[in-house]
Structure 1
Amino acid sequence: MSGFPWFTRRKPLDPAIAERRDQLPAPATLDDRPLREQRFVVLDLETSGLNMSRDLVLSIGAVTIEDGAIDLGSQFESTLQRDAGKPSASVLIHGIAPSALAAGVDPAEALLDFMEFLGDSPILAFHATFDQRMLTRALKQDLDYRLRHCFLDVAELAPMLCPEAGIRNGGLDDWIDHFGLQVQQRHHASADALVTAEIALILFSLARRQGLDSPAALASALARRQRRLQAPAL
């Protein structure tokens, strides 16, 4: 069981934080511009566990893809200040010690910093539903902000664009191995965001060859694939 409290009452927002929050741009839609002309933010979260209703965001890592490449000069990393209580089993996975959480950034400020880094860009993530729900709840709880940004799931794009790999429900490590990528560190938000971005660029190259050269085209193809997978067998 996680040592983290499942509910914490939101403190009144500092007026300066609230003013910055109110100036955040509206999210962009998934449009028909070529992938090379898009800015994406690739996101990874480390959390206190996998329960999307009870666990907490502990750290945020993100990199940007712009002009068809990873912009190594534009990265985001922040550990949120949390009252960890007793160390949970998740510490063995993400390696974030209670002392690091105690010294972290105030959650409202950390989340606002990330949203300013994000801007209006769509988000890429591996198993995006988890990151989307965890981030949505954290933003509502700590910043009183409603997340409306578009997400594309790299875990769904990969088997759609690369069916010959034979990996249907694979994890991040499966695709790292398939594409022969070198990874120095895993289960660290920034490192996982970076390798997810590398996979995304490979997938974008495959998408262009398949005539899916825009976020809107990818989203439509994913929706069609989901309908096929969910259709009852005849």
Structure 2
Amino acid sequence: MNMPWFKHRGPILELEQLLRRDRLGLPAELGLCPLNEQRMVVLDLETSGLDMRRDIVLSIGAVVIEHGGINLGNQFESTLLRPAQKVSESVLIHGIAPSELETGENPADALLDFMEFVGDSPILAFHASFDQRMLTRALKQSLGYKLKHPFIDVAELAPMLCPDNRPRQNGLDDWCTHFGLHVLQRHHASADALATAELALILLSKARRQGLDSLTALNQRLANWRQRQQAQFM
């Protein structure tokens, strides 16, 4: 039967991909679990640029914080298949060559692998709003999946928890230098995720000493902190 008015919406997925997508569970709500017992996924994305409406995800790196430490045996890294991606200035930053993008993983499979890696855990990132929007768009375009996981911004946690002892700038390099963290490599998704996780552990320790021993408590303090920051510029 000819139905010229019907148009397929969303990405075309194989049956196995559809089954995997539909098995993805809902994220857990931020609760009162002590921070030392809370599983968190620390994410970093490398992208084709900084335009959140047009640029795309090129690689994903992530590590897990659990039991109060970084589980180095449980990491995620994937470069996505992007054969049509043109060489741009961003290559000079992240160093992902066109040849790597031409042999990368199918984006749908890579994103499914990542979301299965995340499970129901909250996600931490440095300047998290960027990673959240880029990941949200990638999941929608490649899987027709709506991201609902809560994100916590390490770039907000750091100045909030260290108001009187902070570097002049608020970049990841600045905070790593401030706390004496030795970063072997930067602008590589998995290396940046590890550096962010190391910084997060320091900040979570400070949070506990300030009486903030759950993600719910941290999130509430962050909301109040944002309001105060906005009031200063009104």
What TM-score range do you get, normalising by the shorter chain? over 0.9
Deviation at 1:31, TM superposition (A): 0.6
Pairwise mapping of residues 8-87 of structure 1 onto structure 2 (< 5 A)? Answer: 11-87=11-87
Give the distance between the partners of 2:216 and 2:168, measured in 1 at CA: 23
CA offsets 1:103-129 (integer angstroms, 9 cap, x no match): 000000000000000000000000000
1:43 and 1:60 in contact (8 A); partners too: yes
- The aligned residue for residue 93 of structure 1 is 93
Partner amino acid, structure 2, of 1:46: E
Give the distance between the partners of 1:124 and 1:164, measured in 2 at CA: 23
- The aligned residue for residue 6 of structure 2 is none
Tell me the SS of whatever aligns to 2:164: helix
- Runs of at least 4 residues of structure 1 off by over 6 A? none
Give the distance between the partners of 2:111 and 2:37, measured in 1 at CA: 27
CA offsets 1:55-107 (integer angstroms, 9 cap, x no match): 00000000000000000000000000002443111000000000100000000
Deviates more, 1:224-233 or 1:11-20: 224-233
2:166 and 2:178 in contact (8 A); partners too: no
TM-score of the pair, normalised by structure 2:
0.93
Give the distance between the partners of 1:205 and 1:86, measured in 2 at CA: 43
TM-score of the pair, normalised by structure 1:
0.93
The reply on whether 1:148 has 2:137 as its aligned counterpart is no
Structure 1 or 2, whichever has the larger Rg, is 2
The CA RMSD measured in Å over matched residues stands at: 1.5
Unaligned runs of 5+ in 2: 1-8
2:61 and 2:76 in contact (8 A); partners too: yes
Unaligned runs of 5+ in 1: 1-8
Deviation at 1:11, TM superposition (A): 4.4
Tell me the SS of whatever aligns to 1:231: helix
Q: 1:46 to 1:233 in 2, by over 3 A?
A: closer
Deviation at 1:10, TM superposition (A): 6.0
In the comparison of the two structures, how many residue pairs are matched?
226
Deviation at 1:197, TM superposition (A): 0.3
The reply on whether 1:171 has 2:165 as its aligned counterpart is no
Q: Sequence identity, in percent?
A: 68
Tell me the SS of whatever aligns to 1:64: strand
